[in-house]
Structure formats: structure tokens, C-alpha cells
Amino acid sequence: YMASLRTKQTNGKTERTSDSIKAVRWSALNSFFQFLVPEYIKSNPVESTVRPKMKDNPKVTYLTPEEISKILHNVENNAQKQLMNRDLCILKLGFSTGLRISAIVQIDINDIDLQHKHIRVTEKGDYDNYVLFGENLKTQIIAWLEDRKKYFGDCGSTALFVSQLGNRISDDMVAAMLKKYASGVTDKHITPHVMRHSCATNLYEKTGDIYLCSRQLNHKNVSTTQRYAELSKEKQKMAANILDDMI
């Protein structure tokens, strides 16, 4: 089975399967057979095999500051009046904090501390974390809270971000919203996770501090963040110029 994963068919073409996909499949099989031991089978056959090594880097799509600015401009020009500040708040939160969309949609009003400028969020793995934000995002949050009270005050939901029906907004709704506002700005494949990638990449472009990026994304291991450093074109250009000055 693992040997059959070496290639895949995409639009009628044979392509090499990424190491990450093979590693995920191996892990899934290993977990499943481990679950069967010892009630259903005596031993886990996957334990006698080796987990595929991660030799490639998954392609990371991110938006430049110019592209982000254009998307936010599209919101200001095209969003419905009662939803404009909500949409701006979601996007600015994603681009400036790097939070996963699953964490953003779960934020409640009481999780916001405007005085100390931090948000309590539930991160991947169901543990709470506090994320700091700046003055610009604070202004945007306040604007949305005022509109939320004005247009959705009687919805009965504790969610910070609600739909037109007054329910907590979903991941899919954010995905559709982002895709709509990115139309005409870029031909990149846009998903909510692109906001997280953009936050990390642009932060690294500005600081060159991989440990700061790792802390911002709340990665347990800095090696997980390393791919943002490797794809940073501006840092690569800077390195080339520094070395070029030596000769």
C-alpha cells in the first residue's frame, strides 16, 4: 500500500506524492492497528515498518502586505454596511495574529480584554492561550462590537463573530468571504489558513527572527516554523546582497 502512494493521478497526469501525505497515511495506519491491539489482533504490523521521512517542504501560499491591503480595500468598498466591520475584524485578526480560523470563530465577546489588548483563545489541542494585539486591531474590534450591538444586539449568541442570522460564524463562511474579497487581487489559492501563513511570512520578512515567528504561531517546535524562513524571498535576496558585497 505504501509503495502505491509514491505517485498519484492529477488531471490525468502522474505526479509524485509529497512526503507529508505519505507520512500522514502511515501515521493513520499505525494509529488504527495500535487501536486493534490486543483485543482484535496480537500485534501492530505497522511497527515493523519505518515512517516515511519528510524530505520535501509543503508549498506555502501567503499574501504580501500589498495584496492584504487590496483585500481589505475590497471589504471597505463591497461589504454590506452591517457586515463591513465584522469582515474587516476577522481578516485583520487573522493577518495580524496568525490565529487558526478554528480559534477565531470560537472567540466569545467575553474573551476580549480591550484594556490589556489580549484575547483568550482555544488553540489546537483544546487548551487556552492569550494572544496580544495592537492598537489598530483594537480600534477595529471596537468598531465591530458597536455594529454587533447595533445590528445583532438581540441575537442571543455569545460569539464575537455572528452571521446575518445571528448564529456563530463558521469556518466555511469565512472561507467563502475571504475568497470573495480576494477576487481580482490575486490568482493564488486562497483559504483561511493563508492568513496564518501570511502572518508568519511577513513577520519573518520584517524581523528575521524565526523564534519570534514560532512564538507568535504558538508552535511547540521551531522546526515547524522553519519553512517560513526557507521560502522568504526577501531574506534570500538580502543574504545574496550581503555576500555579493564581500567580492
**Lateral strand order in the sheet of 127-132:** 112-113, 118-123, 127-132
pLDDT tens readout for residues 200-244? 888 888 888 888 888 888 887 777 777 776 666 666 676 677 766
CB 130, CB 118: distance < 8 Å = yes
The residue to which cell 519553512 is assigned = 227
- 123: DSSP letter: E
Angle of helix 193-207 relative to helix 222-230, nearest 10 degrees, comes to: 80
- 169: DSSP letter: P
Residue type, 241: N
| Catalytic residue annotation | 100, 124, 193, 196, 219, 228
The residue to which cell 477576487 is assigned = 183
Q: What is the mean pLDDT of the chain?
A: 88
pLDDT tens readout for residues 132-171? 999 999 999 999 999 999 999 888 899 999 999 999 999 9
Residues shown for the chain: 247
pLDDT tens readout for residues 88-135? 999 999 999 999 999 999 999 999 999 999 999 987 666 688 999 999
Contacts of 127 (CB under 8 A, 6+ apart): none
Residue type, 39: E
Taking residue 96's Cβ as centre, other Cβ atoms within 10 Å add up to 21
Q: How far apart (Å, rounded) are the C-alpha atoms in residues 143 and 5?
A: 50
Which three cell numbers, joined as nine digits, stand for 169? 460564524
Residue type, 140: Q
Angle of helix 65-78 relative to helix 84-97, nearest 10 degrees, comes to: 170
Residue 14 has pLDDT above 60, yes or no: yes
Q: How far apart (Å, rounded) are the C-alpha atoms in residues 176 and 195?
A: 14
- The pTM score is 0.72
Considering the chain, what percentage of its residues have pLDDT values greater than 90?
A: 55
Secondary structure class of 41 (helix, strand, coil): coil
Q: How far apart (Å, rounded) are the C-alpha atoms in residues 88 and 96?
A: 12
* Max CA pair span of the chain: 69
| 21 band by pLDDT with thresholds 50, 70 and 90 | confident
Instruction: Compute the Cα dihedral for 21, 26, 30, 33 and give only its sign.
Output: positive
